[in-house]
Amino acid sequence: MKRIGRREAWAGFIFASPWAIGFLVFMAYPLIASIYFSFCDYSVLKPPIWVGLDNYKALLHDELFWKTLKNTLIYAVIALPAGMATAIILAMLLNTKVKGMAAYRTFFFIPSLVPQVSLAILWMWVLNGEHGVLNPILKTVGITGPNWMGDPNWSKPSLVLMGMWGVGNAMLIYLAGLQDVPTQLIEASELDGANSWQKTVNVTLPMISPVILFNLIMGIIGTLQVFTVPYIMFPNGAPEHSTYFYAVYLYDNAFRYHKMGYASAMGWIMFLMILVLTVCSLRMSEKHVHYQGT
């Protein structure tokens, strides 16, 4: 018996070794090096020189740091709920037994497959102030659309709109979760006289709350790092830095201004934010999330 145990343990180590090596080389080492660099003045062409907390102090006084942080957080606060709500609503619509559900499901899902670069380029075209198509469409229902890309007040909403267009894969996950909701619960609430709204809020949502939590956390991690779309659609966060996102400023500092120590400090701050937000979400989840079977 012990021999099988030892053999199994060895096999375990060997099978897990790719991950172990990868973890050390591509995760642990960069994390530690990045803390070190954040306390240095460093560009790959010049060796690192220790400057202590100087980078962090400079960040505190850097208007762009605060601006990009604000932009990213505002975007996250709007985009996450909007995206989740859209995904859940779509999933609930699909969960009814209507004809052609498979087709609709496909239509809603396909936009989420579009590569980020194509997405940015496509929407640049749709939202174009002069030749775009969104405003003429809005005009047919009597709404005068704003200058989506050129007006600083509307540039972030443009990004939120695009995000809502791409909720396809979150929607599928919610759909799978919804299909797991025990029908007895729903029938029981109907017998109690609950209407659609009450059924949703008191039965359905709590039942899929683990899924919501999972998507929330993944959403936080993803939204705070958003890079490709703002980088392509809004060079330099134009207009007026309204869409200058944290990850893009970080990239600019590292590779365009060659302030790699500074960029490393920004990276660590981002990581700490994600940690804090994730822990907060998990804490809050203890009160609100119901796991089936517990």
Partner 1 sequence: MKSQHQVATAQKVLVQVALVVLSAVFLFPFAWMILTALKPLDETMTIPIKWMPSKFLWSNFTDAIKYGHESVGYYPFLVYARNSIVLCALIVSGTVASNSIVAYSFARLRWPGRDLAFGVTLATMMVPFPVLMVPTFALFRHLDWIGTYRPLWVPAWFGSAFSIFLLRQFFRTIPFELTEAAKIDGASEWRIFRSIVLPLSKAAVAVVALFSFMGAWNDFLGPLIYLLDQKTFTLSLGLQFYQSQNGGTSWNLLMAASAMVIAPVIILFFFTQKLFIQGIAITGLKG
Partner 2 sequence: MDRSAFTIPVLAIAVLGVLFESEQLTAPPPPDGKVHVKYWEKWTAFEFDAMKHVVDEFNKSQDKIQVDILSVSGIEDKTLMAISGGIPPDVVGLYGPNVTQYADNHAVIQLDDLCKAGGIKEEDYIPAYWNIGVVRGHLYALPSTPATTALHYNRALFKEAGLDPEKPPKTIDELDAMADKLTKRDANGHVIRTGFMPGEPGWWNWAWGPFFGGKLWDGKDKITINSPDNVKAFEWIQSFSKKWGASALQSFKSGFGQFSSPQNAFMMSQNAMEIQGVWMYNFIHMYAPTLDWAAAPFPAARPDLPNPTVIDLDVLCIPTGAKHQAEAFKFLQYVESQKGLEMLCLGQKKITPLRKVSAGFIEHHPNPYIKLFIDMAYSKTTISTPKLGIWSQYNDEISSAFDSVTLMTKTPKQALDDVQGRMQPILDQYLDRLHLRGEQ
Binding to partner 2 (CB under 8 A): which residues in 58-77? 58, 61-64
**Up-side HSE of residue 246: CA atoms within 13 Å toward CB?**
26
Instruction: Tell me 258's DSSP state.
Output: -
Residue 63 binding result from partner 2, partner 1, none, given CB thresholds of 5 to 8 Å by partner type: partner 2
- Judged by beta carbon distances under 5 to 8 A according to partner kind, the member of partner 2, partner 1, none in contact with residue 56 is none
User: Which of partner 2, partner 1, none does residue 145 bind to, with CB < 5 to 8 Å depending on kind?
Assistant: none
* Smallest gap from residue 288 Cβ to partner 1 (A): 16
Nearest approach, Cβ of 206 to partner 1 (angstroms)?
Answer: 13
Asked if residues 248 and 169 have their Cβ atoms less than 8 Å apart, the reply is no
Does residue 258 bind partner 2 (CB under 8 A)? yes
Distance, in Å, from the CA atom of 159 to the CA atom of 237, rounded to the nearest integer, reads 12
Closer of 146 and 267 to partner 1 (Cβ) = 267
Instruction: Give which of partner 2, partner 1, none residue 66 binds (C-beta under 5 to 8 Å, depending on kind).
Output: none
Report CA-CA distances (Å) from 141 to 134, 145, 158, 161, 162. 11, 11, 19, 18, 20
Contacts of 179 (CB under 8 A, 6+ apart): 95
Q: Is 156 in the site for partner 2 (CB under 8 A)?
A: no
Neighbours of 171 (CB within 10 A): 25
Asked if residue 255 binds partner 2 (CB under 8 A), the reply is: yes
What residue ranges bind partner 2 (CB under 8 A)?
Answer: 41, 43-46, 49, 51, 54, 58, 61-64, 128-131, 147, 149-152, 236-241, 252, 255-258
